[in-house]
Structure formats: structure tokens, C-alpha cells
Amino acid sequence: MKAVQIKKAVKNKYGKIAAERKASCRPINNCSTTESPQCRSKQIGYTESELRQIPENANLGLGCGNPLGIASLKKGEIVLDLGSGAGIDCFLAANRVGKTGKVIGIDMTPEMIERAKINAQKGIYKNVEFVLGEIEKIPLDNGSVDVVISNCVINLSTNKDKVFKESFRIIKSGGRLMVSDIVLLKKLPKQVKNSINSYTGCISGAIMKNKYLEKIGSAGFKQIRIVSESPYSDSSGVEMSSISVFAVRP
């Protein structure tokens, strides 16, 4: 599969999700329906209190963890969310950094950006901004944010090295990277690896766990650690894990 083809497929799929307001990505066990964002989100680490804080329609149930549960945000900090979707993590972060802080969400899908902006207006968020752009080429200055977060998005990128290097570039010295994502525990079966549907479904774009952590380190980050991990497998022989990773920019 070519990178251009993959990017187009990802944009198309998540554009439709934004328009139809339907959840996607990996299934969560024990939910009464695959379209229950509340159930999905609680199973991956969000609290009832957090889900009550955000605007209606901001939660699409697309995450695989809760990156904001890794480390506390501080009042006045600037936060960037890579692949911000409808804005769930941006709004939660905005509540924590307060009026003196700022949260920027970047997403390459126009429909997601439009939906997130509507949600921000409904919630009267004045410290949140949504920007159309790609996470491999972040439209921000060097050392301009305190924290970068991301939730089940980097696995969809065809150039993960660039994503982590760009994140390192824009984070201030002493700032943090806090990401939740899908990684492989075993190599993918050939039929899954070559499937575009598996790629847009957060499967065949994932890489081995050790390689994922190595890429974070190669970008320059230190103190890299997995804070939480939930392994799972499916009937096709895929063995994966949802991990939440914390790292520091020296």
C-alpha cells in the first residue's frame, strides 16, 4: 500500500465518521453496542466525571486509552493534541490548564475540524483552537508547547518517525509527551497487513511495541515509560496491545 493511498483512505473514513457521528476503530468488549462511545471510553480509562465535563458530540469513542490520565496538566500550560477528532481530549485538557492556558487540536480531516469547532462553540471554550493540518508536519514554532498528547492516531501515520521528531521540535525543554496508541505484540498475518480496511481500522498501521518505543527515543525523548497496557487479540490471529506512554523532552 502506498502512503498517498493510505492517507486518502484514512481521511475519507474519518470524515464519514465525523459526518455520521459513529464510533469506529477497535471493538471494546462488553459494550452493549459498537456505537456506544460512553461505554467504550469508560473501558479505556475515562471517568464518568470526565465524560460529563465535555460538550455533547465531542466523544466519538475512537480512542484506545486516556492520555490525560498519564500525568497532570498544570494551569497556564499550552497543550497540543495530535489527531484531535471531535475534541474530547482537547476539552478535558482545556478544563485543566484553565483560562491562562491554551489547547490546540490538529487534525487532517476537515469534517472533524468543523465538528470540533462547533463543539467548542457549544461549550463556550475560549482557550481551545482547532487547526487543519498533518501530524507529520505540525504548523507550530519550535518550543512552543508544554505538552503533546495523542490518542490512537499515530498508528495511522505512515511516517511515525516524522511525527515523533515534529513533536520533539515543538515541545519546550522539560515538556512532556503523553500518548495512547495501538502496538503489535506479534507480526501481522499477511492478509491483514495488506488490507487498507485494517489500516484505517487502527490495525495494519501499528508497529511492534519495542519499535514504537525506539522511535520515541530516536526522536530525542528521555524517561520513556509505559504507564498502562492492555493486550488483546482477535480471531484473525492479530495480537496487539493498547499502551499509554509518557516521555520527557530534555
Amino acid at 156: L
Closest by CA to 219, choosing from 249, 181, 242, is: 249
Of the pLDDT bands very low, low, confident and very high (cuts 50, 70, 90), residue 141 is very high
Please give the mean pLDDT across all residues of the chain: 89
115-134 per-residue burial string, b: 16 or more CB within 10 A, e: under 16: bbbbbbeebebebbbbeebb
List pLDDT tens digits, range 16-33. 888 875 554 544 444 434
Among 24-28, 137-141, 192-196, name the one with the lowest average pLDDT: 24-28
Q: What residue segments make up the domains of the chain, in order of their start? A: 3-248
CATH superfamily entry for domain 3-248 = Vaccinia Virus protein VP39 (3.40.50.150)
Q: What is the pLDDT of residue 32?
A: 39
Query: Within a 13 Å sphere around the CA of 40, how many CA atoms are in the beta-carbon half?
Result: 18
Check pLDDT > 90 for residue 58: no
How is residue 20 written as a grid cell?
Answer: 455520521
